[in-house]
Amino acid sequence: MSQLMQNPAHPAAAPPDLYAPIVRDLEEVERVLAQTLRSRYHQITAVVDHVGQYRGKRLRPALLLLTARACGLVTTAHHVLAAVVEMIHTATLVHDDVLDGAAVRRHVATVNAEWGNQTSILLGDYLFTHAFHLSATLGDPRACRIIGESTNRVCEGELCQGLERGNLELAEDAYFDMIDGKTAELIACCCRLGALFSDAEPEVVEGLTRYGRLLGLAFQIADDLLDLEGEERTTGKSLGTDLDQLKLTLPLIRLLKQSPQAASTRLRQIMCSPGNHKREALLPLLREGGALDYARRRAEEFANLAQAELECLPRSVCRTILENLAERAVHRTS
């Protein structure tokens, strides 16, 4: 069985209390993934097995299943859809590592570092096509339409971020629009699918979709903070890649906007200079200028708004877990 799906008794790096109500559901998701990605070619199996070491938190399938449980019903369709969103997410990670030139993810070599960019791009495509084929097996046009729309939006966000590389005048609104696409959209999609396929009322579906979107925004801001001030041995992935490629994130946008002219000029010189010293040079300035604290506050604001959206649900263990996930999305080290 592929490592992408192995050890279902421990489906994620999250504390067991968070995923306890959906452990059996996640085991079934792993089974669906194993069946879907099985290949008769041992070379493909080796690459898929390697990606299995990117397991991480399994946040997206967990959110889909937790929202379904919170709405009162988990079906076979939820297991399939959770596998679909995990494949789409993994495909984006594989492609992201190529774009960022990343060498490490989850404490192991990236596919591009191990097999090269060509294999990485094709593996990402392989995961995308399997995901869309699997969603079609449900025979429900809603699934294909929602997943297709969300994946389009994810690609838009990634494209916009790439096209804005080197734009040191990037505004906060443009940044939020990009991360709404590249990160928040798929998380919102997971929550929508969880509620919709539990036959929740339309207002509950919309409320949980908003919860997912706000959670995704908070999660991405926290991720951008880790890229600037995290430690690779803790996060388990290459850091500073956005900065090296002049992809502006919220702390840098804030610092550039708030700095006086002379300081702003110095910042731009550091950011545009060659070499990999940028993080070390900029971190004291980001701290002293309050840019890191500002970004953390914005992430906390989005997390609080996400928690408020859960008022559409009755009190339950799964609702409490969803509230805790919003808190943990902001305060994390990996």
pLDDT in tens, 99-138: 888 888 877 889 999 999 999 999 999 999 999 999 999 9
pLDDT in tens, 227-248: 898 776 666 566 667 888 899 9
Q: What is the per-residue pLDDT for 3? A: 42
Q: What is the per-residue pLDDT for 14? A: 45
Give me the residues paired with residue 108 across strands.
105
Per-residue pLDDT 10s for the chain (334 aa) are 344 544 333 333 444 478 999 999 999 999 999 999 999 999 999 999 888 777 667 899 999 999 999 999 999 999 999 999 999 999 999 998 898 888 888 778 899 999 999 999 999 999 999 999 999 999 999 999 999 999 999 999 999 999 999 999 999 999 999 999 999 999 999 999 999 999 999 999 999 999 999 999 999 999 999 989 877 666 656 666 788 889 999 999 999 999 998 888 999 999 888 766 788 889 999 999 999 999 999 999 999 999 999 999 999 999 999 999 999 999 887 7
Written in H, E and C, the secondary structure of the chain is CCCCCCCCCCCCCCCHHHHHHHHHHHHHHHHHHHHHHCCCCHHHHHHHHHHHHHCCCCHHHHHHHHHHHHHCCCCHHHHHHHHHHHHHHHHHHHHHHHHHCCCEECCEECHHHHHCHHHHHHHHHHHHHHHHHHHHCCCCHHHHHHHHHHHHHHHHHHHHHHHCCCCCCCCHHHHHHHHHHHHHHHHHHHHHHHHHCCCCCHHHHHHHHHHHHHHHHHHHHHHHHHHHHCCHHHHCCCCCHHHHCCCCCHHHHHHHHHCCHHHHHHHHHHHHCCCCCHHHHHHHHHHHCCHHHHHHHHHHHHHHHHHHHHHHCCCCHHHHHHHHHHHHHHCCCC
Q: What is the per-residue pLDDT for 126? A: 96
Contact 108, 165 (CB under 8 A): no
Q: What is the per-residue pLDDT for 1? A: 36
pLDDT in tens, 246-275: 999 999 999 999 999 888 899 999 988 876
Q: What is the per-residue pLDDT for 10? A: 34
Q: What is the per-residue pLDDT for 248? A: 95
Q: What is the per-residue pLDDT for 279? A: 86
Residues 6+ apart with CB under 8 A from 322: 63, 66, 67, 70, 211, 310, 313
